[in-house]
Chain A
Amino acid sequence: MRMPLRADRRAEVGAFEDLQTLVVIVVGITVLLGSTLFNWSVIDRVDQEQAVYDSAADVLRSIEAWDRIRAYDEIDALIPFFMIRQPELVVLVTTSQGRFEEQIRSDFHYNVTFDDVEISDAGEDRATGNYSKFQFGEPLPGTGVDTAVLRTHYTLVFLTRVGELKDTSIRHLCDTTVVVWA
């Protein structure tokens, strides 16, 4: 039995009464699908770009969470602020190559540079443990590659020995740059 609708003129629920209406429906669905796909691709692209930025921040957090490079004072007590033990960076770039990358992982490519602000490239003397820069990760990409760059500062704490006593009074500012790319 047909339900009476709209003054009982045999109108039916639904729009497939004639070809014209069918065309409207098909066009509507096409527009809906098209706009969904377009917007989806736009949002997906922004999400992918955002993931690179988030990864740069994650690399920085991972560095700060790595106890091996944290600085100690002259009685081997952990310094309450996050500071980097400079001799440990020397070990990582000389005798423990790859250790940094094993510890600091990312889904993207990254490069981390610790730049000792107080030692210029010309003033570098590796024989005495005075390094100007410490680089980890992959070589920096060429131009044309979109990168997320994050810069911050840390304090590098040096360690010298005077007889049996340790001296951690030498402190240098370290300009740290994290570059991440897809």
Chain B
Amino acid sequence: MRRMSTVRPLQGGQVAIYDALLFLMVVILVSVGMFLYSAKLTSEGAGFDGGTYTLLARDQLDATMGLKVNVTGLYVNVTGGPSPGPVLLEESGVLYRGPWTVDKVLHGCVELAKSAKEESAMRDLSGIGPRVDRLFGYTNFNTTHYAWAFELDGRVAFFFSDSSEVKGPDDLPPVRYGASADLTSETMPATLRYYLWLA
């Protein structure tokens, strides 16, 4: 007596249909993949890339560094050291050739801080921030937010942002673009940083 086979062999027609279904499945997978890819591209749309925003950040930094600061009547208070008392920034010994630009005022801050450190004196530079803040405020666009941070001797000497939610470097959004200018003078490290992020 012949034993009944439990697995029925495939007929030629069935094999062809399975082959066709397999082919159809591949077609569907490829098509869906392409649709998903193009949908992703379309949803992102065209726009400026990260390199362009970095370029804009650099522009804002350069534009601001060249602007003229009104230093008339700007005093720097000195406490301790050989000659304490208020000193006019213009007469503080950090004279530069040409106009007092943001770049030169900040360089002046660095020089004053350096000499204070050497003379064991304290120099109050807080009056300089508000003079420069107004110029920092020019870098305002409707579609972006910005922040400025001036780091002097390892700490943030002043910070300025157009966003009320960003009150210090720790509040900066993780996705941002930036540019910086190194203003270090010998033993006094200093950096001006500009941050830009999309609103």
Contact = CB atoms under 8 A, between A and B. Distances in A.
A153 B141 CA distance: 10
Interface string A44-79: 001001101110110011001000000101110001
Interface stretch (B45-53, B74-82, B121-129, B161-169): B45-53
B46 A46 contact: yes
Contacts of B30: 32, 35
A169 interface: yes
Contact of B138 (A25, A57, A169, A173): A173
B16 A15 contact: yes
Interface stretch (B54-62, B84-92, B108-116, B150-158): B54-62
B98 interface: yes
Interface stretch (A2-10, A91-99, A104-112, A126-134): A2-10
A39 B35 contact: yes
B67 interface: yes
Interface stretch (B18-26, B170-178, B183-191): B18-26
Contacts of A6: 9-10, 15
Chain A binding surface SS class: mixed
B125 to A, nearest CB: 22
Contacts of A151: 141
A119 interface: no
B48 A53 contact: yes
B11 interface: yes
Chain B interface size, under 10 / 10 to 19 / 20 to 34 / 35 or more? 35 or more
Chain B binding surface SS class: helix
A28 B17 contact: no
B68 interface: yes
Contacts of B65: 81, 155
B12 A24 contact: no
B73 interface: no
Interface of A: 5-7, 9-18, 20-21, 24-25, 27-29, 31-32, 35-36, 38-39, 42-43, 46, 49-50, 52-54, 56-57, 60-61, 64, 71, 73-75, 79, 81-83, 117, 148, 150-155, 157, 168-171, 173-174
22 contacts: A9-B10, A9-B11, A20-B17, A24-B23, A28-B24, A32-B27, A43-B41, A49-B46, A50-B47, A53-B52, A57-B52, A81-B62, A82-B59, A83-B66, A153-B59, A153-B63, A154-B62, A155-B64, A155-B66, A157-B66, A168-B98, A169-B98
In order of increasing CB-CB distance, the 6 nearest A-B pairs are A17-B16, A49-B46, A169-B99, A155-B66, A7-B9, A11-B15
